[in-house]
A = this chain, B = another copy of it.
Amino acid sequence: MSLERLLQDELIVATAGVEILEQALIDQATTIAAADWSPPAAGTEGALATLAAAGRTEAANATAIERMLAVRPQFVDVGVARDIIPGMTDTMFLHAGPPLTWDRSSGPIKGAIIGALLYEGMAATAEEAEEISAGGGITMSPCHHHQTVGPMAGIVSPSMPVAVVRDAGGDGVAYSTLNEGLGKVLRYGAYGPEVIERLHWMGNILGPVVAATLEYVGPIDLQSLIAQALQMGDDGHNRNRAATSLLLRSLGPGLVENESVPLADRGTVFRFIESNDHFMLNLVMAAGKLAVDAAAGVEGSSLVTTMARNGTDFGIRLSGTGDRWFTAPAPIVDGLFLGAFTKADANPDIGDSAITETVGLGGFAMAASPAIVGFVGGTASGAVRRTQEMYEITLAEHSAYQIPQLEFRGTPVGIDATLVVRTGVQPQINTGIAHKDPGIGMVGAGLVKAPMQCFAEAVVALADTMQ
């Protein structure tokens, strides 16, 4: 451009960083082009410099992400929690998210523990269940410490049926509860008689029938189902209609033909799964748990291996910092509310289900799932942008999970905590919303971002391991 033209045409000021300077130009009616740049999260400059100087993180991350993507999850069985979950005891109640005590627990966690105590027959009333819990009569422990994940409250009590997901390419195993459906359900903190009755049916009929059906049809390749479902409009977190359909297609021959199970039970189980498009969610989560556990414990790696919320705290863990949690207050979710419920009814973010985002699904795969916006809010084009932004903070594009809308590009997978603090881009999560009080249940679904504070503290701790 000639100097003449430069002086003749309108001047445009390129701006970056501190917004107050940018605003001053806008106030003077100057045209600006703002670059999307922000300095690293406060307090992380030194840690980032230490990690850069040590020069070990890149190789460590390559190892960790390779392990994460090598896992081949298969749905092989359903068992009873007390019999199969490592470290489970008769008075242990697993919960979602980072470690938690009863007194700091949110409404949905308390409601779900009350319901689980009623289901176990350890309490006769909600009041008695609260007394037992408050008096230390139970042990609370995070699902994530027991190769287990649970959506929302994530409560797993000893008698519950749990899905068993094995790594066909290794010796890993992970567990999850079975999905109850939407509305008034235990994981959203409800504990009315219909909730407890459903849990008994799930323990007595659903679990054993699905186990017998899996024995009949053989292991189900979850990675293949999830990959196909992404080409059918699922995101793997809050839209699992396609994956649930494909699961039912896989289980179907056993439900039709396996006469070792009473006909009425096979019919009821078919109808239960058919009526619950979220049934597959818990299996996607267990598949994710298998992947993150495989990626854990690589010295120097800034790969995020856990994002989980207990309704009070949001917590993350990194591959290179072992079992240590980095927490921040759980944020409030923006979303669509059912019936007359509003944001004032909403509990802060809760659940282990952000495991899906941790392995390149959910909010990271929303571009594959334009129809999800009818459930969590936003627009279809916004769903594409959310996925596209996640490529900025991830280490790889998923080798199996592709997004047809993006010309079959792999989903962004493997959150690098150093990229999060450097770019200021927070991981995108979509999620259900529980009522803040115990005993009520689901009030909506929406979108939320993982708090920056967790990532900043984790990066500082990772740098400390380099000293």
Contacting B at CB under 8 A, from A214-252, are: 228, 231-233, 241-242, 245-246, 248-249, 252
Instruction: Judge whether A379 and B407 touch: CB under 8 Å.
Output: yes
Partner of A274, one of B228, B249, B270, B370: B249
For the complex, count residues of A whose C-beta is within 8 A of B. Answer: 35
Instruction: Judge whether B245 and A256 touch: CB under 8 Å.
Output: no
Q: Is residue A39 contacting chain B, with contact meaning CB distance below 8 A?
A: no
Q: Is residue A263 contacting chain B, with contact meaning CB distance below 8 A?
A: yes
Task: Give A381 to B228 CA distance when docked, in angstroms.
Answer: 20
Instruction: Judge whether B267 and A233 touch: CB under 8 Å.
Output: no
Does more than half of chain A's interface fall in helix, strand or loop, or is it mixed?
helix
Partner of A380, one of B257, B267, B381, B404: B404
Given A245-B245, A379-B407; A256-B270 close (CB under 8 Å): yes
In the assembled complex, which residues on chain B have CB atoms less than 8 Å from the CB atom of A267?
A: 253, 256-257
Instruction: Judge whether A371 and B274 touch: CB under 8 Å.
Output: no
Instruction: Judge whether B249 and A245 touch: CB under 8 Å.
Output: yes
Q: How far is the CB of A256 from chain B (nearest CB, A)?
A: 5
Instruction: Judge whether A274 and B253 touch: CB under 8 Å.
Output: yes
Q: Is residue A27 contacting chain B, with contact meaning CB distance below 8 A?
A: no
Q: Is residue A458 contacting chain B, with contact meaning CB distance below 8 A?
A: no
Q: Is residue A127 contacting chain B, with contact meaning CB distance below 8 A?
A: no
Task: Give A357 to B248 CA distance when docked, in angstroms.
Answer: 30
Q: How far is the CB of A205 from chain B (nearest CB, A)?
A: 14
In the assembled complex, which residues on chain B have CB atoms less than 8 Å from the CB atom of A370?
A: 404-405
Partner of A256, one of B242, B246, B255, B405: B255
In the assembled complex, which residues on chain B have CB atoms less than 8 Å from the CB atom of A381?
A: 407
Contacting B at CB under 8 A, from A383-432, are: 404-408
List the 8 closest A-B pairs by CB distance, nearest first.
A370-B404, A245-B245, A231-B371, A257-B267, A371-B404, A232-B233, A232-B232, A256-B267
Q: List 13 A-B contacts (CB under 8 A).
A: A231-B233, A232-B232, A233-B242, A245-B245, A248-B249, A255-B256, A256-B263, A257-B263, A370-B404, A370-B405, A374-B404, A380-B404, A380-B407
